[in-house]
Amino acid sequence: MHIMEGFLPATHAIAWTVASAPVVAYSAWRVKKVVEENPSTKLLLASCGAFAFVLSALKLPSVTGSCSHPTGTGLGAVLFGPWVMPVMGSIVLLFQALLLAHGGITTLGANTFSMGIVGPFVSYALYRMVRKSGGSLQLAVFLAAALGDMSTYCTTSVQLALAFPDPVGGVLGSTAKFLGIFALTQVPLAIAEGLLTVIVVNILSKTSVGELKTLNILGRGAQA
Amino acid sequence: MNLIDRIAHTNRWSRRATAEKLLVCLGGLAVCLAGPPLTTGPLMLLANTLLALFAARLPAKVYFAVLGFPIGFLLAGAPMLLVSVDFSHGLGFGWRADQIGVAAGLVGRAAGAASCLTLLALTTPVHAMIPTLRRIGVPAFLVEIMLLTYRLIFVFAETVARGYNAQTARLGYVGWKRSVNSLGLLAAAFFQRAMSRAQHMEVGLAARGFEGNFPVLRDDGVAASGLRCAAIGAGLSLILILGFVAERFVHV
Amino acid sequence: MSEAILEARDISFDYPGGIPALVSLNLTIARGRRLAILGPNGAGKTTLLLHLNGTHAPKSGEIRLGGEAVGYSRTALRAWRGTVGLVLQEADDQLFSASVRQDISFGPLNQGLSEDEARARVDEAVEALRLAHVVERPTHMLSFGQKKRVAIAGIMAMRPRVLILDEPTAGLDPSGERHLLHALNGLHAAGTTMVFSTHNIDFAWSWADDVALFQEGRVLRQGTAEEVLLDDELLKQVGMRPPLVADIARMLPQCQGQPLPRTRDQLQALLGNA
């Protein structure tokens, strides 16, 4: 759910950038500690960033006929933990703007907020909650990815509603309006992404135990 | 994606000073957001289109295709502002003609801004832009990660495209269920490749003395000319002033 | 044979899980020569090459560089990798920058050279590998063969005395292979010792001075190309047949008692003169 270049007025573009900046900076500080401890994680992080970018450029079939793109927020949050995501997410979003003309530079802050911060943290929280309460890995991953997507889309709707409040219904009215419009594409997309992420994690948990351990180290270091 | 990158490397402006191009496009974005949207946006769109087609000589087809995607989205989305939703008496919908000004302003601003991004993306190679982030305080390790990411995107894009084609050849994308399944398989296989690529690269770079940092020669590139920067600044200011002046004569 | 610049003495190495990869292996690399490490896929050639620049350390045995056993400290490895350059089979594993020039400058700067010296090294390597026409292009817009040459340039800019190439011609088209060999011949003529792995016996015959025949983690025989590649009995053991050009030439009367042709062109010249 990218907000396109120039869609938000100046005050909103700046406000969302200001809101995202400290989280991204803190995330960068944690990544820095990991990188200082083990410099070759730079290669690993870049690999993950490029992986996310390339995957996001693939089309995900959507029920409504239109094609959409997987966000990978849920997968990233489950694999790396949420704290790597704000900084890596903003890097991927910048590349999407510059190489795909998706999203934008003035809306980078708003998009980072929804896709690099809210989405991953909701995903991760759900994942932990379901796992802790004894839910299966599959269920945890599905809910994390699908509802992470939904949270991203809700955030975007609120961001748009704040910028364009309904003259009658106010922010609430326009939030409902944007949610309603995007539901058509975003709900099936979230379900598709949930299923997709379950398939991916299923395979990885069988065949890539070593790699997952490496990433775990990335996550653990980031929690230090 | 490949197309945007290729044009960025092969247009007439490819070797122009990156700072100048950034000034044109980021300055343009600032002007779009600062000026009255209804008039400044279209003026910016016009100016950028002229620059793109006649100065940078971008292929018109590519320029309009890249720009057309967000603008199409915009034209489809903006009319939604004219519908009002209200919960005060149950759920009510209304048509708000008085919102035409807001919607038109949004279209103007976003179209102008999208043209700035399009011009930047199509004229400036990404690896020339990234190092300038150092100047606004982005730490070196992040710039290194970004440059590596940029390089790896192209290495991976090839792998994934091959996998996708191979799956399509075996009917992996017929029907929704199979598509999701195929994409999942592809993503998982590709993830493993990406991880092993990182490991192999560590070996490959160790052979070249890699100990954690990426020292490289500075790209001397073309230095920005003060005169041209001043001209760009003047041009941007002119658009901004014109935007304000024109606003007095435009009523929606 | 001239003095050994690099040696593997009795080295053994296991893959994780205890699967033996190299078994009491001995190999001698003579200064200024071109040594082919010939063997089927999966014989352990790459694993051996990764020992020759210290990426892997042997479980037992030792690697000797210039007659002395090498150590694996950071300083020792740094000096070692400056002397012995390794080019991986997959160029993409070695190229990290989108800018060809910046990529090539990486090794020299890691060696602690100044920017000016590094710049000179880059120019020298670009010239030696004939890359001047692609140096302004981004890495991802290069052909497979050009990327390979950039990877080699990145190593050559460090001025190693030994250049190790893993399957240098794999995946190259004939013109890419010609360009590569042309460049490598130049480097060899300038005094660089070459070691390369290959499963292609015809390529080994056309380009190597010495050959080490490799099978299941061991060197079955090391000697000059003639000694190894014309020994039918030995080749039969590894399921190989002699190089085509040599095999044909051996049957020709004009080749009796003469050095056999190494390349198709040489063979054609012989036949043309008859």
| Average pLDDT score, chain C | 92
DSSP SS3 for B195: helix
Whole-angstrom CA distances from A73 to A85, A88, C26 are 8, 10, 51
Backbone angles phi, psi at B159, to 5 degrees: -55, -50
Please determine, for residue B11, whether its predicted confidence score (pLDDT) is greater than 90: yes
- Stretch C238-254: mean pLDDT, rounded? 90
Q: Same structural domain for residues B156 and B119?
A: no
| In a domain? residue B112 | yes
Q: Which two tokens stand for residue B252?
A: 């929606």
pLDDT confidence tier of residue A63, bands split at 50, 70 and 90: very low
Are B46 and B145 members of one domain? no
| φ, ψ (nearest 5 deg) of residue B34 | -85, -35
The token pair at B201 is 């690269």
Residue B133 in domain:
no
Place of tokens 């003047």: B234
**Cβ distance A215 to A77 under 8 Å?**
no
- Which chain B residues are within 8 Å of A75, Cβ to Cβ? 187
CA angle A138, A142, A143 (to 5 degrees): 120
Q: What is the pLDDT of residue B111?
A: 96
Q: How many residues does chain A have?
A: 224
- Tell me whether residues B87 and A172 touch, CB distance under 8 A: yes
Q: Do B170 and B195 belong to one domain?
A: yes
Among C52, C95, C96, C195, pick the best mutation site for testing chain B contact (most B Cβ within 10 A).
C96
Pick the range with the lowest mean pLDDT from A117-121, B3-7, B167-171: B167-171
- Asked if B133 has any chain A CB less than 8 Å from its own CB, the reply is no
pLDDT at B61 over 90: yes
Choose among C122, C138, C158: nearest Cβ to B208.
Answer: C158
Strands C34-38 and B92-95: unpaired
Alpha helices in chain A, H assignment, sequence order: 10-37, 41-56, 73-80, 85-95, 108-111, 119-132, 137-163, 170-207, 209-223
Put simply, whether A176 touches B (Cβ < 8 Å) is yes
> pLDDT by residue (tens digit) across B210-224?
988 899 988 777 888
Phi/psi-derived region of residue C10, left when phi > 0, alpha when psi is between -120 and 50, beta in every other case: left
Here the ipTM equals: 0.92
| B227/B112 same-domain check | yes
Touching subunits of C (3+ CB pairs, under 8 Å) are: B
**Two tokens, residue B65:** 């295709």
The whole-number pLDDT of residue A62 equals 52
Per-residue pLDDT tens digits for B89-127: 667 777 877 788 889 999 999 999 999 999 999 999 999
- Domain, as residue range, for B62: 2-124+222-247
As a whole-number percent, the residues of chain B with pLDDT over 90 amount to 58
Task: Please name the residues between 143 and 172 in chain A that touch chain B, using a CB distance below 8 Å.
Answer: 164, 166-169, 172
What band does A64 get if pLDDT is binned at 50, 70 and 90? very low
- Over range C248-252, report the average pLDDT: 89
Yes or no, beta carbons of B148 and A200 under 8 Å apart: no
pLDDT in tens, C167-187: 999 888 898 888 899 989 999
**Angle (CA) C105 C109 C114, round 5°:** 105
Average pLDDT on C199-221 reads 94
| Sign of the dihedral through C-alpha A62, A68, A69, A75 | negative
pLDDT at A223: 39
**Long-range Cβ contacts of B221-225 (<8 Å, 24+ apart):** B221/B15, B221/B17, B221/B18, B221/B128, B222/B15, B222/B16, B222/B17, B223/B17, B224/B17, B224/B18, B224/B19, B224/B20, B224/B23, B225/B17, B225/B20
The DSSP H or E segment spanning B2 is helix B2-10
Q: Quick one: which of B50, B39, B73, B237 has its CA closest to A7? A: B73
Examine the domain organization and report whether B19 and B118 are in the same domain.
Answer: yes
Is B41 part of any domain? yes
Give the integer Cα–Cα distance in Å for C34 and C28: 12
pLDDT at A66 over 60: no
Residues B156-191 as b or e (16 or more Cβ within 10 Å = b): bbebbeebbeebeeeebbeeeeebbbbbbbbbbbbb
Give chain B's length. Answer: 252
Residue B213 domain flag: no
**Which residue has 């994409």 as its token pair?**
B183
My answer on whether B151 and B80 are in the same domain is no
pLDDT at residue C156 in the model = 93
Same domain, B10 and B120: yes
* Contact indicator for B3, B119 with CB cutoff of 8 Å: no
> Mean pLDDT, to the nearest integer, of C210-214?
96
DSSP strand E in C41-98: where? 60-65, 68-69, 84-87
C84-87: strand order across its sheet: C84-87, C162-166, C193-198, C34-38, C210-215, C218-224
Would residue B212 count as lying in a domain?
Answer: no
Q: How far is C146 from chain B (nearest CA, A)?
A: 15
Using CB atoms, pick whichever of B85, B99, B139 lies closest to residue A173: B85
* B194, pLDDT greater than 70: yes
Q: Three-class SS of residue B50?
A: helix
Question: Tens of pLDDT along B139-152?
Answer: 999 999 999 999 99
Contact C98 B126 (CB under 8 A): yes
Distances in Å between the alpha carbon of A54 and those of A72, B4, B154?
A: 11, 15, 9
Task: Express as a percent the part of chain C with pLDDT over 70.
Answer: 99
pLDDT reported for residue A71:
79
**Is residue A150's pLDDT more than 70?**
yes
How confident is the prediction for chain B on average, in pLDDT? 90
B158, A52 contact by CB (below 8 A): no
Amino acid at B76: A
CA dist list (Å): B158 to A116, B171, B190: 26, 20, 11
d(CA B59, CA B11): 9
Residue A67 confidence (pLDDT) above 60: no
CB A52 within 8 A of CB A92: yes
Contact B149 A46 (CB under 8 A): yes
Residues 6+ apart with CB under 8 A from C176: C143, C144, C145, C148
For residue C6, which of C219, C227, C195 has the smallest C-alpha distance? C195
* pLDDT at site B153: 94
Q: Are both B85 and B185 inside the same structural domain?
A: no
Closest partner CB to B216 (pick from C109, C139, C151): C109
Q: What is the DSSP letter of C198?
A: E
Q: How far apart are CA B130 and CA B160, in angstroms?
A: 25
**Cβ contacts (< 8 Å) between A198 and chain B: which residues?**
184
Q: Which residue of C has its CA nearest to B204?
A: C94
3-state secondary structure of C7: strand
How many folded domains does chain B comprise?
A: 2
On whether residue B181 sits in a domain, the answer given is: yes
Whether B193 and B234 share a structural domain? no
Q: Is residue B87 part of a domain?
A: yes
Q: Find, in chain C, the residue whose alpha carbon is nearest to that of B158.
A: C140
B226 and B103, same domain (yes or no):
yes
Mark which residues 116-135 of B lie under 8 Å from C by CB.
125-127
Over 50: is that where the pLDDT of A222 sits?
no
Per-residue pLDDT at B59? 96
What domains appear along chain A, each with residue ranges and CATH number? 10-214 (1.10.1760.20)
Checking if the pLDDT of B167 tops 60, the result is yes
**Position A221 confidence tier, pLDDT thresholds 50, 70, 90:** very low
Same domain, B74 and B107: yes
For residues A102-123, give the mean pLDDT.
95
Q: Please report whether residue B39 resides in a domain.
A: yes
Least confident of A184-193, B66-75, C79-88, C224-233: A184-193
On chain B, the residues whose CB falls within 8 A of the CB of C90 are 200, 204
C-alpha A30/C-alpha C27 separation (Å) is 47
Average pLDDT over residues A132-153: 92
CA closest to A213 among chain B residues: B195
What angle (nearest 5°) sits at the alpha carbon of residue C124, between those of residues C120 and C125?
A: 120
Residues 178-237 of B with CB under 8 A from C: 197, 200-201, 203-211, 214-219
Is residue B78 classed exposed, middle or buried when 0-12, 13-18 and 19+ CB atoms within 10 A define those classes? buried
Calculate the alpha carbon distances from C31 to C7, C53, C54, C210 in Å: 11, 16, 19, 11
- The DSSP secondary structure of B90-128, one letter per residue, reads SSEEEE-GGGHHHHHHHHHHHHHHHHHHHHHHHHS-HHH
Cβ within 8 Å of C, B 150-189: 150-151, 154-155
**Rounded Cα distance, C235 and C242, in Å:** 7
The average pLDDT across B10-17 equals 92
Taking 70 as the threshold, does the pLDDT of residue A224 lie above it? no
Contact call for C140 and B127, based on CB within 8 A:
no
Cβ atoms of B15 and B132 within 8 Å: the answer is no
Query: Distance from A207 to chain B by nearest Cα, in Å?
Result: 9
Residue among A45, A57, A98 whose CB faces B129 most closely: A98
pLDDT at A68: 65
Token pair 């490959």 in the structure block, residue: B204
What is this structure's pTM? 0.90
Question: What does the alpha-carbon distance between residue B97 and residue B94 come to, in Å, rounded to a whole number?
Answer: 10
Taking the CA of residue A153 as centre, how many other CA atoms within 13 Å lie in the half-sphere pointing to its CB?
A: 24
* Chain A residues touching B151 at Cβ < 8 A: 46
- Taking CB atoms and an 8 Å limit, are B154 and C94 in contact across chains? no
Q: Which H or E element spans position B200? A: helix B176-206
Tell me how far the alpha carbon of residue B82 is from its chain's centroid: 28
Residues B192, B163 within the same domain: yes
| Strand pairing class (C4-15; B92-95) | unpaired
How many angstroms separate the first and last alpha carbons of chain A?
31
